[in-house]
Amino acid sequence: MTDERTPSQAPADEGPCLLRLEHISKRFGGVQALDDVSFNVWPGEVLCLAGENGCGKSTLIKTVSGVHKPEPGGVMEWDGQDMSDLDPSKAREMGIQVIWQDLALFPEMSVAENIAFERNLGSRLKFVNHDAMRREAARILDRLGVSIDLEAKVSSLSIASRQLVAVARALIADARLVFMDEPTASLSRHETEALVAIVRRLSEQGVAVVFVSHRLAEVLDVCSRVTVLRDGKYVGTYPTAGMTQARLTELMTGRNFDYEVRVPQAQTAKPLLSVRGLTRRGEYEGIDLDIAPGEVVGLTGRLGAGRTELALTLFGLNHADAGEISMDGERLRMTSNRDAIRAGIAYVSEDRLSLGLIQPQSIADNTVISVLDRLLSNRLLSPSKKKTLVDDWIGRLRVKIGETTDPVSSLSGGNQQRIVLAKWLATNPKLLILDSPTVGVDVGARAGIFEIVSDLAAKGMAILLISDETPEVYFNADRVLHMRDGRIVETFVPAETNIDRIEEAVHA
């Protein structure tokens, strides 16, 4: 077992720390968000801030960046100087930058304008020097060792390129400490490796990086230490050398998770879903696929392999140019997702924020939105039917909520994903398509979601599980299909295959 380190211990005895926090607490009304947390960062180190959703990570970051004031009695120091009167403006002047998961970029402005944005803020009216702006942006991108079209609109960039623009904007503001909140949540393995290389480059240049991520493998790879929070409390700071994902999961959740592959059942039933020769030009080609009742089939591959495009066709949102889809032996002719829903197909999108949920609406309204026609009484929505259905699914999926009338945006990522599941399970599907169901979901909530998946399969539901994280499909699917360049190129049975074999194939 890894020995715990106190926050005051330097990672390599490299002199005084850059940031020192001792006994930091923060309360919001009756909620204790932070409870006696200590947290230190040294110049040039890459440190992970780990914990489940709701453990206090965001509150701690906002406290360090001057958004929140800590409770009296805490100590906050920057380069040995007191920083108790911190506000966001002072934090930026000191070199503290935060890159939130949504990046907070201006999509209709150019790359150069986004990078140099803060340099053009001020109280005096002045003309913008576009040439100087481009030179500054080019200098920072060169420092990062990357090339991006300075005139391109940010809206035209990939998520990975937008991440680099956000990092460049932090550096142009003379950052000395950069918090990165879930920077790789929407990135492929290749894009993640590129971003990790940038993080290492920043470290070599003396910029400290605090990495927040639910992807524990990359945390252990890129960070030298990991600070763990649980329920707002400080658990400990540990060296990543010798740390395992299982041990880190235990520290974050207080629970042990046993990771074992599924033992596939002998398939005697006819396939529920049968796909033959399915093709959509430029996206996927010649797809043959069978899924039996009660079977979990994993679909993995690099970003751009055509996985989501295939899922959208199975759900009636994209039309294939050739091939056929059958359910229960009958060919489907789908003109929209309504036809798919009537056939017993449900689809949980990889983008729950914009496609899976209506964030401003209530938990209850999001839960019932797919089955409103079943809740009518005399052509009006029946409050009693609605309440019964909502209470039933919230109970069955063990969703942690305040009130059903609260906006769904008030929930943690894991609980939001359970509401998305509830919305589609309420349609009583025969086939459930899960497209990257754990993006932005912490390790404890992930385990809960896959328990639900396993229970659904045990009750006879067919499940197509799409993920670019090999461990997810390896430990939760009966079969794993490897998709590359729009084709299914290999099939693996986890019970008969080492996980490294699948990793090597996918990332070859």
Phi-psi region at 287: left, alpha or beta (left = phi > 0; alpha = psi -120 to 50): beta
pLDDT tens digits for range 387-431: 999 998 888 888 888 899 999 888 877 788 888 888 988 889 999
Burial of 227 (0-12, 13-18, 19+ CB in 10 A): buried
Token pair, residue 57, equals 């990570």
In CATH terms, the superfamily for domain 266-344+429-508 is P-loop containing nucleotide triphosphate hydrolases (3.40.50.300)
> When comparing pLDDT for 323 and 370, which is higher?
323
Q: What percent of the chain has pLDDT over 70?
A: 92
* 194 membership: H or E segment, kind and range: helix 189-204
Instruction: List the Cα angle 375/377/382 in 5-degree steps.
Output: 55
Indicate the SS3 state at residue 180.
Answer: strand
CB 168, CB 157: distance < 8 Å? no
Instruction: Give buried/exposed letters for 294-326 (b at 16+ CB in 10 A, else e).
Output: bbbbbbbbbbebbbbbbbbbbbbebebeebebb
Rounded-to-integer distance, Cα 163 and Cα 180, Å: 10
Token pair, residue 237, equals 């700071």
Query: What is the chain's alpha carbon radius of gyration, rounded to the nearest angstrom?
Result: 24
Question: Which amino acid is located at 116 in the chain?
Answer: A
Q: Quick check: do 1-95+176-191+205-256 and 266-344+429-508 share a fold?
A: yes
What are the sequence ranges of the domains in the chain? 1-95+176-191+205-256, 106-175, 266-344+429-508, 351-427
pLDDT band at 1, cuts 50/70/90? very low
Count of Cβ atoms closer than 10 Å to residue 28 Cβ: 10
pLDDT band at 123, cuts 50/70/90? very low
Measuring CA to CA, which residue among 325, 327, 236, 316 is closest to residue 275?
Answer: 325
* Top-level class of domain 1-95+176-191+205-256: alpha beta
Q: What is the DSSP letter of 496?
A: G
Token pair, residue 312, equals 């959208």
pLDDT tens digits for range 207-262: 999 998 877 888 888 999 999 998 899 999 999 998 988 788 888 888 776 678 88
User: Which residues does 174 contact at the CB level (< 8 Å), separation at least 6?
Assistant: 95
pLDDT tens digits for range 458-479: 999 999 999 877 888 999 999 9
Measuring CA to CA, which residue among 199, 238, 201, 206 is closest to residue 222?
Answer: 199
Rounded-to-integer distance, Cα 2 and Cα 249, Å: 13
* 424 membership: H or E segment, kind and range: helix 413-425
